[in-house]
Amino acid sequence: MSDPVRLAKRLIALTGCSRTEAEQYIKGGWVSVDGRVVENPAHPVTGETIVLDPAARQEAIEPATILLHKPVGHDAISGPRPAADLVARDSRWADDPSGVRLLQRHFHRLTPLMPLDAEASGLMVLTQDGRVWRRLTEDRDDIEQEFVVEVAGEIAPYGLARLQHGLSYGGRALPPCKVSWQNEVRLRFAIKGVQGGQLRHMCAQVGLDVVAIRRIRIGKVALAKMPVGEWRYLPVGERF
């Protein structure tokens, strides 16, 4: 048996491509070893069958940003049931419109952003992209989020107007936000700088009990029809 060599070196010998090209093909998920895609150029190989996908292209490997429909009971940022664990190859939304090729490296070092209460569901962001991290961290309080809140009880007189402006939370007056009835039991909030527990507290101040909370939009990015527990990519050109 021959001594193991790096996959990139074997690909160079098979195709005549340069070292840079070989590593780019491998990192891009275009190379299989005995039928299994391998994305590590240093992966050791001996006599295995190495195949370069005929559709292989030389293209930059962009850091991934993933949008997850978080279920109730999972922790968005930290906690014993991290929602990040739901992001896997087989939980990608079948109707993902992004066109991004799935790579195993996209599941590494994903940072969750934009807090969402464990008892709430809806749109959640995880990213490898420093540009997205800065946008959703440094500008978080300036980005409008939209929530659908299912409620029970009888709203107090002028309660809708008070939800829009006039309530406080954590000892400070809340800035104005947009609140409207979606139907008889659901309120729609368009709000900036929302804090953990804030929506429940706001509703309680006008006599309403919260049954469920779902985040449906962050900035310009919407949850759309993505099923609970599934995820899609954020295309490079789509902005929050």
The 10 Å CB-count burial string (b at 16+, else e) for 192-212 is eebeeebbbbbbebbebebee
CATH of domain 144-218: 3.30.70.1560
Amino acid 1: pLDDT: 55
Amino acid 86: pLDDT: 97
Are 111 and 128 in contact, with CB atoms under 8 Å apart? yes
The whole-angstrom separation of Cα 79 and Cα 82 is 6
Please state the pTM of the whole predicted model: 0.88
Fold of 5-52: 3.10.290
- 65-140+221-233 domain in CATH 3.40.50.2300? no
Low-confidence ranges of the chain (pLDDT < 70): 1
pLDDT in tens, 210-232: 999 999 999 999 999 999 999 99
Extents of the domains making up the chain: 5-52, 65-140+221-233, 144-218
Are 136 and 240 in contact, with CB atoms under 8 Å apart? yes
The continuous run of DSSP H or E covering 204 comes out as: helix 198-205
Domains 5-52 and 144-218 are alike in CATH topology: no
Amino acid 28: pLDDT: 84
Amino acid 212: pLDDT: 98
Amino acid 51: pLDDT: 92
Amino acid 22: pLDDT: 87
**Helices and strands per DSSP (H, E), number in the chain:** 5, 16
Which residues is 141 bridged to in the sheet? none
Amino acid 119: pLDDT: 96
The whole-angstrom separation of Cα 88 and Cα 32 is 20
Short-list 203, 227, 95, CA closest to 148: 203
Query: What would the two tokens of residue 61 be?
Result: 């490997």
Please work out, in degrees rounded to the nearest 5, the angle formed at the alpha carbon of residue 181 by the alpha carbons of 180 and 185.
145
